Every structure is written in C-alpha cells, then in structure tokens.
Amino acid sequence: MSMKDFLHPNRRHKVISFGKFAIYSNRRVNEVELEIELRNDEKGRPVFAAEGGIWNASRTDYYICGQCIDDILVLCPVLRKNKLYMKIFELWRRNHCNDMKAGTPKQTAIVHEWLDKGHRFDFDEVCKMLRKRRCYTDHGYRYGSSWLYNEISAEDLAEIDKLLAD
C-alpha cells in the first residue's frame, strides 16, 4: 500500500462506546466513548485526531471530555485490559493532531519518556527539561516555536483505516 491509499478527501470519523462504568457512584451509569477521526489537511496529507468522554448518568453532559484519553484510563483503569481502547490510546499518543506538533520526532520522544515517568505536561517545565537534556533546539528547530507536521506511519494509517471501516 502507498500513502495515496490512505488519503481521504473527506473527514471520516467514528464514535466507539466502551460501556458504562461506576465513576462517581457505586452504579455503572457513566458511559465511556472515544471518537476517532481521519481527514486531509490543506496539502492532502492525512491528519489523525481522537478524543474521549465520560457521560453523566442522564447523558446530558460530560464529567470529562476532550483530549483526555489518558485521564480516562486513570478514572477507569480496567480499560487497560481492553485491547481496542489501548490500541486507540497508542494511536492517539503517537499521532493525535499530527499536523500541530510542538516538537521534532526526537523532542517528542524525549517528552513522552519524561511524561511516562509521571510528570504532567507543562510547557515551561517541558522546555526546561529539554534544555537540561540539550534537545531544546533540534537541527535548528526550537521546541514549540511553530506547528510541525509529523507523518503518520503506514502501519498506523492501516490501523486507523481498519478502525474506521469496522
């Protein structure tokens, strides 16, 4: 398959429910959903986005929603055993808003490693950490100075395409 096989002229998206959980009570009344999207940017390159939400019991509002797929795992740790949720989590982590990356792939890998150690994202703290690791500037690019496009791997595009087709 070539990259052209994954370029979609229109936005494609899908909402996936992972069932109901007991978040703020003893009853399993809070539905967890993820929405995934693949679209083309103005240059025809694929852009991936994913977001999540936990509904209140009456489904009139969210307790938490947006770019919080990792926070949902904190509130619903049993989802770590759900293969589909974890697949989307990994795709989100690697590719979410890949047309708006603050860092180069090298800088992003260092930031993810730092976050995996329990740090919360704070732009100033990330910049300080990158300076200490001598990676604040990578090949002339200063972290966060503009939005970069990071290409989605062919493997990840195939996974995203499969999720949207199912």
Q: What is the pTM of this model?
A: 0.81
For 108-156, write each residue's pLDDT tens digit.
Answer: 999 989 998 989 899 999 999 999 999 999 999 999 999 999 999 999 9
Averaged pLDDT, 46-60: 95
Q: How far is CA 74 from CA 23, 42, 51, 62, 67, in A?
A: 11, 36, 15, 16, 14
* pLDDT computed for residue 166 by the predictor: 75
When the pLDDT of each residue in the chain is averaged and rounded to a whole number, the result is 92
AA letter at 25:
S
pLDDT category at 24 given cuts 50, 70, 90 is confident
DSSP 92-107: HHHHBTTTSBSS-HHH
Q: What is the pLDDT of residue 68?
A: 93
| Contact in structure between 14 and 163 (CB atoms under 8 Å) | yes
**Banded model confidence at residue 11, pLDDT cuts 50, 70, 90:** confident
Give Cβ neighbours of residue 51 (< 8 Å, ≥ 6 apart): 34, 35, 65, 66, 67, 68, 69
pLDDT of residue 7: 47
Sheet bearing 62-66, strands edge to edge: 12-21, 30-40, 46-55, 62-66
Q: Could you give the CA distance from residue 81 to residue 29 in angstroms, rounded to a whole number?
A: 20
pLDDT tens for 75-94 read 999 999 999 999 999 999 88
The end-to-end CA distance of the chain, in Å, is 19
Look at residue 9 in the predicted model and tell me its pLDDT: 53
CA distance 121 to 114: 9
Q: Where are the alpha helices (DSSP H) in the chain?
A: 69-75, 83-95, 105-116, 123-132, 154-165
Q: What are phi and psi of 104, to 5 degrees?
A: -70, 165
- Rounded to 10°, the helix 154-165/83-95 angle is 130
Residue 56's pLDDT is what? 94
